[in-house]
Amino acid sequence: MAYKNERGFKTVKVDGQDDVVADGATDQIEFVASSGMTITTDASNDTITFASSGGGGTSISDSDGDTKVQVEESSDEDKIRFDTAGSQRMVITDAGKVGIGVAAPQYMVDVSGDIRVRGGDIRDNSGNAAITMDGSANVTVPNNLVVDGNGSTGGITITDGSIAMRTGTGSVAQIDMYCESSNAHKVSIKAPAHASFSGDVNFRLPASHGSSGQALITDGSGNTSWSTISGGGGSVRTVGVDTDGNGSTDNTLETSESLILKAGTNVTMSETGGVVTINSSASGGGGSSESSDSYTLGYATLNASTSGTVSGALTVPAGKTITGFSMHVDTAFVHSYGGSYHTGHLSIDGSGLSPTNSSDTIIQPKAAYEQYGSVSSGTGYWGTAGAHAASMTRLVVGSSNLDIDFKWLSQSQTLTAGSATIKVYYI
């Protein structure tokens, strides 16, 4: 621009720079186009036009080109790329997806690295605060939180004052608590299986710690409390007592009753720390608890034995002392007509006893038996040595196991009915 006269301007003011002043007739103001720019003048209209060269340009960059914004890195790709120090930092795709540290974002915002929220909210599509952060690592979920599921058919739902655990795997919900050493052990709390439920189960904990030695009890409706249990071992609920040794429960101890253990003949009892010990006080007894062996037979078994003997049905280990026998006839033994006395008895080989007997020891029924009839149901057998002996005899087994046989006299006749349970008791 040439300086013409006093009526034209002679000073160009540039913000932040020195003013350019045309203070003489020969002074000029020159506009210099930089790289990527063209300057066009129109003298007739007194205009100057500044334009980017190449018809609009595709990038803005610094002088060395390593920090730039590109709108078309390749032909018509329709992406905006942001580079600093020679590396791409962010991209906006043609679908509006923003990738930070990600070249090909898969979501509307796709970030590789940490995101810092300096006290603010993450909001849902209605603008409600879904996650609130206070800038001090405190995070608040204002509404329900559902983890690993939909909160209906599976997952853990955390609501104000409530945690609900649902399972979509087919296994019952459970809580696993592991030990401190490499998680080697755990304690699990599980819900019962579906088939075990008859309704919902609700427990309400007591409002205190209770006292030392107390136990947690329930009222049957889910309300729990602390209670001192008499004796420290809990209360006896139901006890079955086999009074006749037939293997069935003949008496039931009710909840309001007490169980009393009473020492009988040749038996001693002691109690230490709530444990009751029962011993035999008789000579040769060994001081151990009584054991038993049992065998149930029917008439078909006896008919199959041509000798009239079922051998080895009852076995007493060596060194034991026989304390008694029982034979409970569940169904009467009946045979066809003929023969002499048809009855059953237990036979003990005398050679297996100590001291050795010269003959078998025979245990016969205390009840009457009939020549041509049957041994009646409920018949009891004496625990005695010798036929019809009146007093108890202790039989000591020798160095080898002792077999006890059941014999049916006059096996020539076929049995048509009958069954019995035979027991031997020893210590």
Q: Quick one: how many helices (H) and strands (E) in the chain?
A: 1, 34
Specify whether 26 is located in the same domain as 104: no
Distances (CA, A) of 64 to 60, 163, 350: 11, 59, 118
Q: Round to whole Å and give the CA distance between 398 and 317.
A: 9
- Least confident segment among 145-154, 297-306, 403-412: 403-412
In this prediction, residue 255 carries a pLDDT of 61
Specify whether 307 is located in the same domain as 382: yes
Confidence (pTM): 0.39
Instruction: Report cis status (omega within 30 of 0) of the bond before 355.
Output: yes
Specify whether 16 is located in the same domain as 105: no
* Residue 123 located in a structural domain: no
Specify whether 24 is located in the same domain as 104: no
* Residue 354 located in a structural domain: yes
- Residue 33's pLDDT band, with cuts at 50, 70 and 90, is confident
| Mean per-residue pLDDT over the chain, rounded | 75
pLDDT (tens digit per residue) in 54-89: 545 678 888 888 999 998 888 888 999 999 999 999
Rounded to an integer, the average pLDDT of 6-16 is: 71
Q: Round to whole Å and give the CA distance between 307 and 301.
A: 12
- pLDDT of 383 > 70? The answer is no
Place of tokens 């039989």: 395
Q: Which amino acid is at 270?
A: S
Domain that residue 80 falls in:
59-110
Q: Round to whole Å and give the CA distance between 387 and 129.
A: 97
pLDDT (tens digit per residue) in 315-327: 777 777 777 767 7
Q: Of residues 288 and 240, which shows the higher confidence score?
A: 240
Specify whether 45 is located in the same domain as 65: no
Specify whether 103 is located in the same domain as 17: no
Specify whether 25 is located in the same domain as 98: no
* Residue 21 located in a structural domain: yes
In this prediction, residue 339 carries a pLDDT of 40
* Residue 116 located in a structural domain: no
Specify whether 95 is located in the same domain as 46: no
Specify whether 335 is located in the same domain as 396: yes
* Residue 225 located in a structural domain: no
Specify whether 312 is located in the same domain as 367: yes
Q: Which amino acid is at 420?
A: A
* Secondary structure class of 300 (helix, strand, coil): helix
* Residue 410 located in a structural domain: yes
Specify whether 311 is located in the same domain as 399: yes
Specify whether 68 is located in the same domain as 46: no
The residues, ordered by sequence, that sit 6+ positions from 380 with a Cβ below 8 Å of its Cβ are: 326, 327, 328, 365, 366, 367
In this prediction, residue 73 carries a pLDDT of 84
Q: How many domains are contained in the chain?
A: 3
Length of the chain: 427
In this prediction, residue 248 carries a pLDDT of 67
* Residue 28 located in a structural domain: yes
* Residue 136 located in a structural domain: no
pLDDT (tens digit per residue) in 243-261: 665 666 666 666 666 777 7
